Chain A
Amino acid sequence: DAGVIQSPRHEVTEMGQEVTLRCKPISGHDYLFWYRQTMMRGLELLIYFNNNVPIDDSGMPEDRFSAKMPNASFSTLKIQPSEPRDSAVYFCASRLGAGETQYFGPGTRLLVL
């Protein structure tokens, strides 16, 4: 399997622009997670899905952030409008079933100017 795929790998945008990050989980995995990593706050869980349904979005920083999972093989994390403090590396992870480990993607490095 190709593992968790994220795109783009790098994104540079200007403040106020909409940013969409994409994730393709490992085939067959029924959990999908979005994380954000910064030097100041470390790795934070933003939201996770089970069978395409959002289960817990308590980590989403504010209404500017939204995530969707229209099907089992695709998820998006959208930031609108983006702000400089959103600059971070965003990871997507997936796993198969309860009690199993998570497999992380390579991340998207976002820079908001």
Chain B
Amino acid sequence: LAKTTQPISMDSYEGQEVNITCSHNNIATNDYITWYQQFPSQGPRFIIQGYKTKVTNEVASLFIPADRKSSTLSLPRVSLSDTAVYYCLVGDENNFNKFYFGSGTKLNVKP
């Protein structure tokens, strides 16, 4: 089971770039790395997914080194509305019994 390790919490200020790193030492060859965002009283929401190198979309970037044992979610110029819990997941989307959300990283963006 490819579990993940993330910081429990992080603080940032509006306008800053935030980088959240996730460790996944036991990642398997078929595993993808997926990040979700969860606001209070809502279900998790997909942010970004990648397999290796770098992936970028309109919301975030995901950096994955060659050994894939870690990944970094980068949020450019955060705002107060980015305050949420961010989950790093590692797994094969075809084997859900191996999906593990963990406790996530609580990002607190201050004015």
Binding site for B on A (CB under 8 A): 4, 33, 42-45, 48, 55-56, 58-59, 91, 93, 98-107
Contact = CB atoms under 8 A, between A and B. Distances in A.
B97 A98 contact: no
25 contacts: A4-B43, A33-B96, A42-B101, A42-B104, A43-B44, A43-B87, A44-B101, A45-B97, A55-B96, A56-B97, A58-B97, A91-B44, A93-B43, A99-B93, A100-B93, A101-B34, A101-B49, A102-B44, A102-B46, A104-B42, A104-B44, A104-B45, A105-B43, A106-B41, A107-B42
A59 B44 CA distance: 19
A92 to B, nearest CB: 8
Contacts of A56: 96-97
B81 interface: no
Contacts of B97: 45, 56, 58-59
A101 B96 contact: no
Contacts, number: 44
Chain B contact residues: over half helix, strand or loop, or mixed? loop
Interface of B: 34, 41-46, 49, 87, 93-94, 96-97, 99, 101-104
Contacts of B34: 101
A101 B43 contact: no
A61 to B, nearest CB: 14
Contacts of A107: 41-43
Contacts of A104: 42-45
Contacts of A55: 96
A48 B96 contact: yes
Nearest to B102: A42
Given A58-B97, A104-B45, A106-B43, 15 more contacts: A42-B104, A48-B96, A55-B96, A56-B97, A91-B43, A91-B44, A93-B43, A98-B93, A98-B94, A102-B44, A102-B46, A103-B46, A104-B43, A104-B44, A105-B43
